[in-house]
Amino acid sequence: MPQSLQITAAKPDPALLSLPWDIPLEDWPTDVLAALPRGISRHVVRFVRLRDQVIAIKEIGETVAFNEYELLRQLSRTDVPSVEPVGVITGRTDKNGERLEACLITKHLAFSLPYRSLFSQNLQPDTATRLIDALTVLMVRLHLIGFYWGDVSLSNTLFRRDAETFAAWLVDAETGQLHPKLSDGQRNYDIDLARTNIIGELMDLQAGEFLDEDEDVIEIGNQLHRRYHELWAALHDVETFDADETWRVEAHIEYLNSLGFDVDELEMTTDIDGTTVMIQPKVVDAGHHSRRLMHLTGLDVQENQARRLLNDLESFRAATERQNDDIEFVAHDWLATVFEPTIQAVPKDLRKKLEPAQLFHEILDHRWFISEQQHRDVPMPEVVDSYVTNVLHNRPDELAVLGLDPQDADLQD
């Protein structure tokens, strides 16, 4: 190993030294690679198994690598979904002493997939619009903390299932900038660039016959523009109503909660004669339902998964006639008698196909389906058996794509 090799990391892992840094990344031997799908990238990217985890390695210029590493570290201190940085490798040379590019290392986001992998599966017709909705929420959350992306696209995003929707995670911050606050011009540039990139990416999917040629990709791109401005307005615009319509304050808060955002404080003002009230959110944070579920049960899940689990918790509370009991005690019993036994009833070798919260969500959907089909309330053990046999066995493994040669797992570099 060349003496000039340097590892910059908050918690350096000595196992990193065992990797073949003196070989260009695109030529790394398959015995160190993990067979995971990769999306489109302007740089060489490889997934590597390191001890008990999988890391993503991107070969990139040294200055850009350090800049992206620091940006990802700053983002990791927020609640915005982004990949976790591991470190930067510099001082690489090959066996002939020729200089090699630096490498940025991040943790692989378990259960996530690039958008092209999602479209290679048997998905619902509205997959594209659901991905756009997820990306829109991610953009709003980034802009709220002052992050200017500079290269918004489906390719620079990873997606995880979130109940019946998707959650988007930032995976490439190469062109990003973090400011105290973004100007309207910076936000609008991000939105316009996102629209252009997404339309191009969807056209590419149509050309590859991954997306129905009848899909209006221009309209899907326009949807991101509309959805973003609707969500941004809901979080920032002043709402005016008559003084005797104070119920609208609670309605406004509930609406923001339904979008997945918490409101810590509202600014309320009245006009001179006190007949009109204006309200505006002052402090808004994402993750309303996921934070509540975490507080009650300790489960760390996506926002819409949390919403579904909280609904089942409330159903359990009603079915056991415990509406007057403290919700914390009810949540403990629901976790011990409903959620955990349901997950444990799934064969261990099949649990890696989906996150536990997503498994539970799909089992609840399956319970509703077969109960409707059979006109009876099907017991949960029977539901789990039916789900495992008829659904889960046929699902792809989303923790990892196994049984593939690492080179065959590439969608495109």
3-state SS, 326-360, equals CHHHHHHHHHHHHHHHHHHCCCHHHHHHCCHHHHH
Give pLDDT, residue 402: 32
Q: What is the pLDDT of residue 386?
A: 93
pLDDT mean for each 10 residues of the chain (413 residues)? 76 87 92 69 84 89 95 90 94 92 92 79 70 90 93 90 85 92 95 94 88 87 91 81 72 74 63 65 66 87 87 88 88 93 92 88 91 88 92 70 38 34
Distance CA 176, CA 151 (A): 8
Residues 48, 45: Cα–Cα separation, whole Å: 10
87: Cβ contacts below 8 Å, ≥ 6 apart: 7, 8, 9, 10, 12, 16, 69, 105
Is 44:25 a contact under the CB 8 Å cutoff? yes
Q: What is the pLDDT of residue 280?
A: 63
Residues 6+ apart with CB under 8 A from 288: 256, 257, 260, 261, 262, 303
Token readout for 238 is 């002043």
Predicted local confidence at residue 166, as pLDDT? 85
Q: At a CB cut-off of 8 Å and minimum separation 6, what does 22 contact?
A: 1, 2, 92, 93, 94, 95, 100
In the numeric block, the tokens 């911050």 are attached to: 173
Rounded distance between C-alpha atoms, residue 301 and residue 291, angstroms: 9
Exposed / middle / buried, residue 21 (Cβ in 10 Å: 0-12, 13-18, 19+)? buried
Residue 248 to residue 98: CA distance in whole angstroms? 67
Spell out the residues 6+ positions from residue 302 whose beta carbon is closer than 8 angstroms to its own.
160, 161, 162, 163, 167, 290, 357
| pTM (whole model) above 0.95 | no
Cβ pair 103, 94 in contact under 8 A: no
Nearest CA to 103 out of 31, 172, 28, 7 is that of: 7
CA distances from 44 to 34, 61, 69, 410 (A): 15, 12, 17, 11
Tell me the pairing of strands 102-107 and 112-113.
Answer: unpaired
